[in-house]
Amino acid sequence: MERAFPNRAEAGRVLAEKLEKYAGRNDVIVLGLPRGGVPVAYEVAKSLRAPLDVFIVRKLGVPGFEELAAGAIASGGMRVLNEDVLRALPNADEIIESVTAKETAELERREKSYRDDRPAPELRDRVVILVDDGLATGATMRAAVKALRQRGVAKIVVAVPVGPPDTCREFEDEADETICASAPEFFQAVGQYYEDFSQTSDEEVRDLLARAAEDR
């Protein structure tokens, strides 16, 4: 197995080295996928001297089968639907509207809470570096990329410390640039590549965003 990162902060510093060409540019913004992607994104943003924010994605789970994703919603009211799953559901429209309402409320709560009422950043025409602590299936990141496409950004860079080679390759078609700092052949789970993979708290996300805003 490839060497594990001590923690998310160290993984972010390693990832930042691969993104050096974006340092000091005023059209770049780093977006972390909460919660685990934010400590990684904080180190990337600090190293690149770029602003940091969150891009929240909530899965639309099928009631009773929550692991089955009927789609996802993302920051800014964007919704991506999984038509294959919807076709198999009776009353698909009602189910999706009900789940969307519930997840939208949670997404809005998190946005307000994480940003401490700071306004959401303008993303149009910017280079967005989208960061998570790793890719597994890539479903959340895929929804984030699709949602960002609808926001008129200039370029989407997907950047993660670790992911399976096939998922990393798939994103080369979906994003404008994909950086997987490590793509081990026998990948099982993101957590196995971290010595400390303890859950990131809402409090930690708030703290890192506030610190990044102050540093700016």
Q: What is the mean pLDDT of residues 82-106?
A: 90
Q: Express each pLDDT in 179-190 by its tens digit.
A: 999 999 989 899
For domain 58-115, is the CATH number 3.30.70.330? no
Distance CA 190, CA 184 (A): 11
Q: Express each pLDDT in 15-36 by its tens digit.
A: 999 999 999 999 999 999 999 9
- Residues of each domain in the chain carrying CATH 3.30.1310.20: 58-115
Alpha helices in 5-155 (DSSP H): 8-17, 37-48, 83-87, 92-115, 139-149
With contact defined as beta carbons under 8 Å apart, do 15 and 131 qualify?
yes
- Residues of each domain in the chain carrying CATH 3.40.50.2020: 8-56+118-215
Q: What is the mean pLDDT of residues 196-213?
A: 96
- Answering whether pTM is above 0.85, one says yes
Task: Compute CA distances 9 → 13, 22, 47, 134, 144, whole Å.
Answer: 6, 19, 12, 13, 22
CATH code at 8-56+118-215? 3.40.50.2020
